[in-house]
Structure 1
Amino acid sequence: MPIEDLDPAKLDARELALLVKATSTDELRELMSGSRRRAVLDTVLARMPGVFRSDRAGGTSAVVHWKIGDGPDGAVDVYEIVIDGGTCALSAAPQRQPKLTLTVGAVDFLRMVTGNAHPVTLTMKGRLKTKGDLALTARFPHMFDVPRV
């Protein structure tokens, strides 16, 4: 399936991961700066509670904000994840003070959440910026089952 026909709601996590892996940076950039950006982000982020591993989160209680850049006209989409009591909930309308803020470009975000880029590598290259609780920063990626491709 060509990326321009992407309907993330019709793909499972592994299919999406394989499609992202096979797609060039330019094509992903075009997708993530176009009219379907919000649908892709909403679908991918809505799946995060389903891949949340409460056994790995332990007693973590935290609010995490994702700031995903490279939108049309420089827009940044902000999503909020609340981890508490062994659960993970998502909001596209952040309302709480974050314990951790993750700022990343849209293509790198898509690659990271599909298992095609590693968060530590992105951080070392300055493409994933973190602000807040350093211990949570280190634990956060391990709280989710990311597809392996």
Structure 2
Amino acid sequence: MTDFSSESLASIGPKEFAQLVKSTPDAKIAEVMASGDRGKILDEVFDRMPGLFRADKAGSTQAVIHWAITGGATGDDTYETVIENGACTVTNQPAREPKLAMTMDPVTFLKVVSGDGNPMMMFMTGKIKAKGDLGLAAQVAKLFDLPKS
């Protein structure tokens, strides 16, 4: 299995990424996400979102979602996902008012986007904090073709 790093992430697909997250101890993920690779890894994950977006599941959904990943060198890293007109766009320069804002640590985030964690359970146990449209929060995972690890 590949080492958990920005270089390995850039060269593997979503299914391999899911297996990598699942097989890497949380402490190792936390260590890498506290290093200089953090920004590259987050950018890589968010850059893939539009390609994993399921317009067929989104229907008429119109939403702005902010993802705040805690523990960065200069505070939280916040990304904005915009779902409108059957498309998904992502930026690391949030500019719009969110319908939903979620805050989580980097290990929780990677588990959610790799399909290795149950987002509802993580919300219920306080690992994910959500403000705004909680109905949308419950549906976010269904709007993307998340890998099954």
| TM-score, normalising length: structure 2 | 0.94
> Partner residue of 2:143?
143
Give RMSD over aligned pairs.
Answer: 1.3
Pair 1:128 & 2:128 matched? yes
1:27-42 to structure 2, matched below 5 A, reads: 27-42=28-43
How far is the alpha carbon of 1:139 from its aligned partner? 1.7
Contact (CA 8 Å) 1:17, 1:114: kept in 2 or not? yes
Contact (CA 8 Å) 2:80, 2:92: kept in 1 or not? yes
How far is the alpha carbon of 1:28 from its aligned partner? 0.4
Q: Which amino acid aligns with 1:48?
A: M
> Partner residue of 1:8?
9
Tell me, what secondary structure is at the counterpart of 2:139? helix
5+ residue gaps in structure 2?
A: none
5+ residue gaps in structure 1?
A: none
1:26-105 to structure 2, matched below 5 A, reads: 26-72=27-73, 75-105=75-105
Query: Once the two structures are aligned, what percentage of the paired residues are identical?
Result: 41
Give the Cα–Cα distance (whole angstroms) in 1 for the partners of residues 118 and 91 of structure 2.
24
| TM-score, normalising length: structure 1 | 0.94
Give the Cα–Cα distance (whole angstroms) in 2 for the partners of residues 111 and 6 of structure 1.
19
Contact (CA 8 Å) 2:6, 2:41: kept in 1 or not? no
What per-residue deviation string (whole Å, max 9, x for no partner) do you get for residues 3-38 of structure 1?
Answer: 257431111111111111111111000011110000
Pair 1:22 & 2:10 matched? no
Give the Cα–Cα distance (whole angstroms) in 1 for the partners of residues 81 and 116 of structure 2.
21
Give the Cα–Cα distance (whole angstroms) in 2 for the partners of residues 14 and 139 of structure 1.
21
Give the Cα–Cα distance (whole angstroms) in 1 for the partners of residues 100 and 5 of structure 2.
33
CA 1:116–1:6: 2 relative to 1, 3 Å: farther
Tell me, what secondary structure is at the counterpart of 1:11? coil
What per-residue deviation string (whole Å, max 9, x for no partner) do you get for residues 27-77 of structure 1?
Answer: 00001111000000000111111111111111011110000012236x210
